[in-house]
Amino acid sequence: MNALHKRQYKVEYRWAVAEYMLPFMRKKLVQYGAGNIGRGFIGELFARSGYEVVFVDVRNDIVELFNRNRTYPLNFVSDEDSREIIITGVRAVNGQESGTVADEIASADIIATAVGVAALPHIVEPVARGLKRRWRSGNNTPIDIILCENKLDADKYLRELFLREFSDEECAQFNKTVGLVEASIGRMVPVMTPEMQKGNPLRVCVENYAELPVDGDALKGGVPHIPGLIPASPFSFYIRRKLFIHNMGHALIAYFGFLNRETSISQAVRNPYIRLLAEGAMRQSARSLSKEYGIDLGLILDHVADLVLRFHNRALGDTTERVGSDPIRKLSGTDRLAGAAIFCCEQGLPGAYIHAGIAAGLLYENPRDEASLRLQEIMDKKGVLHILDEICGIAPDSVVGSQVILFYNLLKTNKDFAEVLHKADRLSNEAR
């Protein structure tokens, strides 16, 4: 029995126990965002644990379909097989109807968001209105908002936005009773094609992975009894592990894959040079995380090996174009690639494999990606040194900057991944 089969056995056992408890539980989750993560992960975890799940979404057709069916199909896919279950006990409200959303928030037991960083400011007013109604009704029970967003310090960012909506007295109540709980989303959910939907826009295909680490120190309403939900401390380790290992490795595969004219992640990672470059980069981040947090390196490397195996999943149909999209954001100094390189540098550890990934990202030129075209426009006008300094937050004359430029020039003139791998290995060994 391999690692994936063992995990699936444990997951099914936990769900069997949870479903036995359903008659004794009936709480409500308000899930802001009914997209792939909202439906394909958070909605599933809570619905199968006995919660009524109320989705909030701005697409009226999706809202109407939820309310007509009160169910949706979830398809677990792998290279070996697939199986489909029906998620029940769900409904939806339109996110543009602020008063209706506020009513749902006022009576919720827990809230979660999966809307994307750009949309977070738009959810603040209706959520704040709902919290005010909650408090005016005399309900001062603590409530948590689980933040399923790819943003460092999402809790601090949202707290600042929320506090603008409240009086001084309400700010005190918010700080006392509302937990802003960061989560690390590890499940991979691809963009659903019409073929994958099979005529049902609510259907989602997902991998079997079902662990949801959350910031245990931020919970104010207690730990929900949800199989797979893991309260963790210090949570910054899990945030950085997701961003600097999972997201970074995923993006590196996408950018090298795109350069090699690979269309899918599973196809790109099967290229031995791309796989070795990704593994090298992820291991360099792993060593830096181990040094910073004092966590056993072997455990983090096991996570790396598991991720590489999961990236091979053809059935997910994930594309290099999707994973590589929006390169300006993904190359920024606080995001997955440059952020990981800077983190390794701060720990005094080599990051040459990551630097090669940054160079591949700088060469990502996709005519269907607006940010990619803007990146290349800046490149043409101001050059790679400007992008390193202004977008990546990397000094061009630093060790990190000089190595990125070395790999950039090598890839631009000769896409010889074997040579890139050799140089990354040599530079890493020299820095030890």
pLDDT at position 6, please?
58
Tokens of 106: 């006022």
pLDDT digits (tens, 9 = 90+) for 343-364: 999 999 999 999 999 999 999 9
Q: How far is CA 370 from CA 21, 117, 329, 358, 376, in A?
A: 48, 18, 12, 19, 10
pTM of the entire structure?
0.87
Tokens 């075209």, residue located: 373
Question: ω before 126 within 30° of 0 (cis)?
Answer: no
Query: Please, what's the largest Cα pairwise distance for the chain?
Result: 68
Has residue 89 got a pLDDT over 60? Answer: yes
**Mean pLDDT throughout 5-30?**
61
Residues 6+ apart with CB under 8 A from 28: 51, 52, 53, 54, 104, 107, 108, 109, 110
Has residue 366 got a pLDDT over 80? Answer: yes
C-alpha–C-alpha distance, residues 432 and 289, integer Å: 16
pLDDT at position 23, please?
45
**Mean per-residue pLDDT over the chain, rounded:** 93
pLDDT band at 74 (very low <50, low <70, confident <90, very high): very high
pLDDT digits (tens, 9 = 90+) for 287-323: 999 999 999 999 999 999 999 999 999 999 999 999 9
pLDDT band at 16 (very low <50, low <70, confident <90, very high): low
Q: Thinking of the domain 236-431, which architecture would CATH place it in? A: Orthogonal Bundle (1.10)
pLDDT digits (tens, 9 = 90+) for 407-421: 999 999 988 999 999
pLDDT band at 367 (very low <50, low <70, confident <90, very high): very high
pLDDT at position 2, please?
57
pLDDT above 70: percentage of residues in the chain = 94
Has residue 8 got a pLDDT over 60? Answer: no
Has residue 3 got a pLDDT over 80? Answer: no
Has residue 329 got a pLDDT over 70? Answer: yes
**Mean pLDDT throughout 261-286?**
98
Is the domain defined by 3-232 classed in CATH 3.40.50.720? Answer: yes
**Mean pLDDT throughout 393-414?**
96
**Mean pLDDT throughout 157-182?**
97
Q: Is-same-fold flag (3-232; 236-431)?
A: no
**Mean pLDDT throughout 110-123?**
95
pLDDT digits (tens, 9 = 90+) for 180-228: 999 999 999 888 889 889 999 999 999 999 999 999 999 999 999 999 9
**Mean pLDDT throughout 147-154?**
88
pLDDT band at 175 (very low <50, low <70, confident <90, very high): very high
pLDDT band at 431 (very low <50, low <70, confident <90, very high): confident
Q: What does the DSSP 8-state code read for residue 316?
A: G
Both ends of the chain: CA-CA distance in Å?
37
Has residue 263 got a pLDDT over 80? Answer: yes
pLDDT band at 80 (very low <50, low <70, confident <90, very high): confident
pLDDT band at 81 (very low <50, low <70, confident <90, very high): confident
Instruction: Please state the domain extents for the chain.
Output: 3-232, 236-431
pLDDT band at 152 (very low <50, low <70, confident <90, very high): confident
C-alpha–C-alpha distance, residues 324 and 251, integer Å: 6
- Angle between the 297-311 and 248-259 helix axes, to the nearest 10 degrees? 40
